[in-house]
Chains A and B, each alone.
Chain A
């Protein structure tokens, strides 16, 4: 990494005003991105604490650390916080906010005040979550299945549902802003097919956010009505149909898994291109595959319900479409791999994360195919096989991408470089810890260990201990970056405008960028990733 001679602090978006007020009332997309970074980091720590307790309880077959009800609250809060308050906002609201306007050469997003509102709405939702956590938690599972959630549970379901309902609007605002920004505010010469793939990925994500999120909002409202007034449409005792809830829930929550993975795929495209000094192989195919995933992703929700009693013919259609939606992901993986071919590859930290992403996402995605195979799903549904599948994608995939992106753009965001050797070490520790945590769960799942179990048969203990041991390594791996990134804020070497010699408009402006992003609005004359061999010279 090249670090230019330390320059004197100029006026930039970070140092233009230090007052708290200036942060809380900012409409600068870069500052809003950082507000989100702080919030989601807090929620990640909270969600991880729940994970730590889950793994501690599962060290022994007997339920000896927490009571059954408390265990149920642990995984419910863990799932809810990780999904709605960490992973869904993670890349879009932090990196997306920071980068989208810069990548397209704009001064800000189209609706800066709506953008700030999005953070406040998120925070209000977050407050409800904290209140829920403090007032004893929820025990419905993150899926809120009725009639358990609407009639039987006696925990704080309402508070939590309100929290999720409110944060939903944060997603909607963010998505709306990005769609309009990407459509209307691109710099001169920046055609759709010159956009970085990250922008394409965020665009596809935004479509899902805007079209999916309202459905979960209305669904949770209906659960709330049923809970409050004992009238409703989900409980069979009230004449309702519990499967209707599941349809509505997954109609959002399956597309939501693509909200979580698509941005990460975008980040990985940027990183792979930069560190192999190569244009992404099959750029257009990769761009369109994001859109294909977003669209077809809306039609596969029923694959969560193969054994639920939904009609077998509906199941056939959902199974078929689930396989179709896997193809664009496969295409992406192959294209990334092909990008490496005849490149000039360096092993900087972001690249390690990106390579980790490809490997782990591949395993997670391929095991998704097991689940989409109707007959197979009968055996592995609601077992640890499913748990392993989605942690491979969400932790091994999405979070790897997020971490890679944070390292990649850290110099741009803060103007400081992080310590490279620590970065590499933590990437390695996370990779090892991750596999030790979740690989044994595939075996447990096929053996038949059901999920959401607080106690389990003694013969499953060895594999569970491995998993818990892995989790503690993983925990350390996540702790490291928190420390050294924080440390680098003061002590890291000063970063130049383009420390990676990367392509992309965001690298044309100083690090950290001035409030209006560019000293003069850029004009684009070439396509994305136009790396030239001669610029690679020495790394």
Chain B
């Protein structure tokens, strides 16, 4: 491989659609930095040799600065940093803006392992199988402290927080096996919280999904939980229960009692279940019991997958009244 030299690597593999963009920015930064570093080194070297102290050689005191020069070395670096700023910001938003149609994968981090679940129901630990050529969205949460999922070959990373979902995406471009790390210090076995991402041909991926023990898709498991936990007693499909219906909730805009309008995304639904009544709705009594500690993070993700499966196509919003 080209990125190896004398048997050890000097440059990471490029295995995602992000890698090329990241490396282009990197080379730009290296070029600018190299230019200034070398400029300074050469100037210093020349000056200290040329103006070394010698007998009979009188120094010429520098005046009180030099407006024009000062301006040049203020404005030129400023201009260059602004290029860095815009380029970096653009890449950042690209990295964290999830493209439509991405495959959903759910991630739960805990001391010290990664648990992955695919919408089709497959679960994995410290291993993640994804197809190449399709964007994959990771919805991530931690059961305890802060972790961080990092795949160097894909040039992506994001903190995984307790109590709140974070998301990122990538699109693998080359089949292969790539390291994944936990990059946020999380305790004793932080350095062992590592694993592999397997990027597979789409066909192989389908086979992989189909193989193994028969699994239940996440939203089906979620639907069962919805019955078992008694959610269905209040939340009825036809909106006749004591709570609002879940049909069409996901992705809609909810108007709270306070008048605030919120997007019903993963975090919103999670908060509704773990901290019910924190954001009261108009027309409903605050009677929903808390399910905090009763449902695991995986269970919550399944419930969300279920509620998501009840979403109606955009534009059609759910009526807010009983």
Please give the residue numbers on chain A whose beta carbons come within 8 Å of chain B beta carbons, in ascending order. 63, 68-69, 71-72, 139-141, 143, 145, 147-148, 152-153, 235-237, 242-243, 276-279, 281-285, 306-309, 312, 315-316, 319-320, 323-324, 326-327, 330-331, 333-335, 337-347, 355, 358-359, 362-363, 366-367, 369-370, 372-379, 381-383, 443, 446-448, 450-457, 459-463, 531, 533-534, 536-539
Q: When the two chains form their complex, are residues B37 and A452 in contact, meaning their CB atoms are under 8 A apart?
A: no
Q: Which residues of B contact A358 (CB under 8 A)?
A: 40, 44
* B182 CB within 8 Å of chain A: yes
Q: When the two chains form their complex, are residues B159 and A285 in contact, meaning their CB atoms are under 8 A apart?
A: no
CA A538 to CA B62, docked complex, whole Å: 20
List 22 A-B pairs, Cβ < 8 Å: A141-B185, A147-B144, A152-B187, A282-B70, A283-B64, A307-B158, A320-B85, A331-B70, A343-B59, A344-B54, A345-B52, A363-B33, A363-B37, A366-B32, A370-B33, A376-B22, A446-B26, A447-B12, A450-B182, A451-B185, A455-B192, A536-B53
A449 to chain B, nearest CB (A): 8
Chain A: CB-nearest residue to B148 = A382
CA A227 to CA B158, docked complex, whole Å: 27
Given known contacts A375-B95, A446-B11, A341 and B89 CB-to-CB distance under 8 angstroms:
no
B166 to chain A, nearest CB (A): 5
Residue of B55, B59, B92, B93 near A342 (CB, 8 A) is B59
Given known contacts A152-B145, A344-B53, A284 and B44 CB-to-CB distance under 8 angstroms:
no
Contact flags (1/0) for B145-170 with A, using CB distance below 8 Å? 11010101101111101111010000
Q: When the two chains form their complex, are residues B62 and A279 in contact, meaning their CB atoms are under 8 A apart?
A: yes
Given known contacts A450-B182, A459-B8, A539 and B145 CB-to-CB distance under 8 angstroms:
no
Q: When the two chains form their complex, are residues B190 and A345 in contact, meaning their CB atoms are under 8 A apart?
A: no
Given A320-B85, A359-B40, A375-B22, 13 more pairs with CB closer than 8 A: A68-B192, A279-B64, A326-B81, A331-B73, A338-B66, A340-B43, A344-B53, A366-B36, A369-B84, A375-B95, A381-B183, A460-B8, A537-B55
Q: Which residues of A contact B161 (CB under 8 A)?
A: 236, 242-243, 308-309
Chain B: CB-nearest residue to A323 = B81
Q: When the two chains form their complex, are residues B92 and A375 in contact, meaning their CB atoms are under 8 A apart?
A: yes
Q: When the two chains form their complex, are residues B87 and A373 in contact, meaning their CB atoms are under 8 A apart?
A: yes
Q: When the two chains form their complex, are residues B55 and A538 in contact, meaning their CB atoms are under 8 A apart?
A: yes
A348 to chain B, nearest CB (A): 10
Q: Which residues of A contact B101 (CB under 8 A)?
A: none
Contact flags (1/0) for B84-121 with A, using CB distance below 8 Å? 11011111111110000000000000010000000000
Chain B: CB-nearest residue to A456 = B191
Q: When the two chains form their complex, are residues B44 and A337 in contact, meaning their CB atoms are under 8 A apart?
A: yes
Chain A: CB-nearest residue to B58 = A533
Q: When the two chains form their complex, are residues A334 and B73 in contact, meaning their CB atoms are under 8 A apart?
A: yes
Q: Which 5 A-B pairs have the closest CB atoms?
A: A448-B152, A375-B91, A236-B163, A282-B65, A373-B88
Contact flags (1/0) for B289-318 with A, using CB distance below 8 Å? 000000000000000000000000000000
Given known contacts A68-B189, A373-B25, A378-B95, A327 and B148 CB-to-CB distance under 8 angstroms:
no
Q: When the two chains form their complex, are residues A355 and B48 in contact, meaning their CB atoms are under 8 A apart?
A: yes
CA A105 to CA B257, docked complex, whole Å: 68
A21 to chain B, nearest CB (A): 46
CA A437 to CA B38, docked complex, whole Å: 20
CA A383 to CA B181, docked complex, whole Å: 11
CA A373 to CA B64, docked complex, whole Å: 35
Given known contacts A358-B40, A448-B179, A376 and B47 CB-to-CB distance under 8 angstroms:
no
Please give the residue numbers on chain B whose beta carbons come within 8 Å of chain A beta carbons, in ascending order. 6-12, 21-22, 25-26, 29, 32-33, 36-37, 40-41, 43-44, 47-48, 51-55, 57-62, 64-66, 69-70, 73-74, 77-78, 81-82, 84-85, 87-96, 111, 144-146, 148, 150, 152-153, 155-159, 161-164, 166, 179, 181-192
Q: When the two chains form their complex, are residues A452 and B185 in contact, meaning their CB atoms are under 8 A apart?
A: yes
Given known contacts A152-B145, A312-B96, A378-B157, A331 and B51 CB-to-CB distance under 8 angstroms:
no
Given known contacts A344-B53, A345-B52, A139 and B44 CB-to-CB distance under 8 angstroms:
no
A232 to chain B, nearest CB (A): 13
Given known contacts A148-B187, A323-B82, A447-B9, A355 and B44 CB-to-CB distance under 8 angstroms:
yes
Q: When the two chains form their complex, are residues B164 and A443 in contact, meaning their CB atoms are under 8 A apart?
A: no
Q: Which residues of B contact A143 (CB under 8 A)?
A: 185
Classify the secondary structure of A's interface with B.
Answer: helix
A471 to chain B, nearest CB (A): 19
Q: When the two chains form their complex, are residues A533 and B61 in contact, meaning their CB atoms are under 8 A apart?
A: yes
A196 to chain B, nearest CB (A): 16
Given known contacts A242-B162, A277-B59, A323-B82, A345 and B53 CB-to-CB distance under 8 angstroms:
yes
Q: When the two chains form their complex, are residues B85 and A450 in contact, meaning their CB atoms are under 8 A apart?
A: no
Q: When the two chains form their complex, are residues A533 and B60 in contact, meaning their CB atoms are under 8 A apart?
A: yes
Given known contacts A284-B65, A340-B44, A309 and B159 CB-to-CB distance under 8 angstroms:
yes
Chain A: CB-nearest residue to B36 = A366
Q: When the two chains form their complex, are residues A375 and B88 in contact, meaning their CB atoms are under 8 A apart?
A: yes
Chain A: CB-nearest residue to B30 = A370
CA A461 to CA B6, docked complex, whole Å: 13
Q: Which residues of B contact A378 (CB under 8 A)?
A: 22, 91-92, 95, 155-158
CA A140 to CA B188, docked complex, whole Å: 9
CA A308 to CA B108, docked complex, whole Å: 16
Given known contacts A327-B74, A448-B150, A139 and B155 CB-to-CB distance under 8 angstroms:
no
Q: When the two chains form their complex, are residues A375 and B90 in contact, meaning their CB atoms are under 8 A apart?
A: yes
CA A141 to CA B188, docked complex, whole Å: 11
CA A284 to CA B66, docked complex, whole Å: 11
Q: Which residues of B contact A443 (CB under 8 A)?
A: 10
Q: Which residues of B contact A344 (CB under 8 A)?
A: 51-54, 57-59
**Most chain B beta-carbon neighbours within 10 Å: one of A320, A327, A366:** A366
B42 to chain A, nearest CB (A): 10
CA A338 to CA B88, docked complex, whole Å: 31
Q: When the two chains form their complex, are residues A345 and B48 in contact, meaning their CB atoms are under 8 A apart?
A: yes
CA A370 to CA B30, docked complex, whole Å: 9
CA A145 to CA B66, docked complex, whole Å: 47
Q: When the two chains form their complex, are residues A381 and B157 in contact, meaning their CB atoms are under 8 A apart?
A: yes
Q: Which residues of B contact A362 (CB under 8 A)?
A: 36-37, 40
A468 to chain B, nearest CB (A): 15
Q: Which residues of B contact A533 (CB under 8 A)?
A: 58-61
Q: When the two chains form their complex, are residues B61 and A333 in contact, meaning their CB atoms are under 8 A apart?
A: no
Q: When the two chains form their complex, are residues A452 and B190 in contact, meaning their CB atoms are under 8 A apart?
A: yes
Chain B: CB-nearest residue to A63 = B191
CA A242 to CA B150, docked complex, whole Å: 20
Q: When the two chains form their complex, are residues A330 and B144 in contact, meaning their CB atoms are under 8 A apart?
A: no
B139 to chain A, nearest CB (A): 13
Given known contacts A68-B191, A382-B184, A346 and B52 CB-to-CB distance under 8 angstroms:
yes
Given known contacts A152-B145, A367-B33, A375-B95, A454 and B191 CB-to-CB distance under 8 angstroms:
yes
Given known contacts A327-B77, A344-B53, A375-B25, A282 and B66 CB-to-CB distance under 8 angstroms:
yes
Q: When the two chains form their complex, are residues B40 and A337 in contact, meaning their CB atoms are under 8 A apart?
A: yes
A343 to chain B, nearest CB (A): 5
Q: Which residues of A contact B9 (CB under 8 A)?
A: 447, 459-460
A269 to chain B, nearest CB (A): 13
Q: Which residues of A contact B33 (CB under 8 A)?
A: 363, 366-367, 369-370
CA A440 to CA B25, docked complex, whole Å: 21
Q: Which residues of A contact B164 (CB under 8 A)?
A: 236, 309
Q: Which residues of A contact B57 (CB under 8 A)?
A: 344
Residue of A153, A283, A342 near B60 (CB, 8 A) is A342
Given known contacts A448-B150, A452-B190, A346 and B144 CB-to-CB distance under 8 angstroms:
no
Q: When the two chains form their complex, are residues A375 and B94 in contact, meaning their CB atoms are under 8 A apart?
A: yes
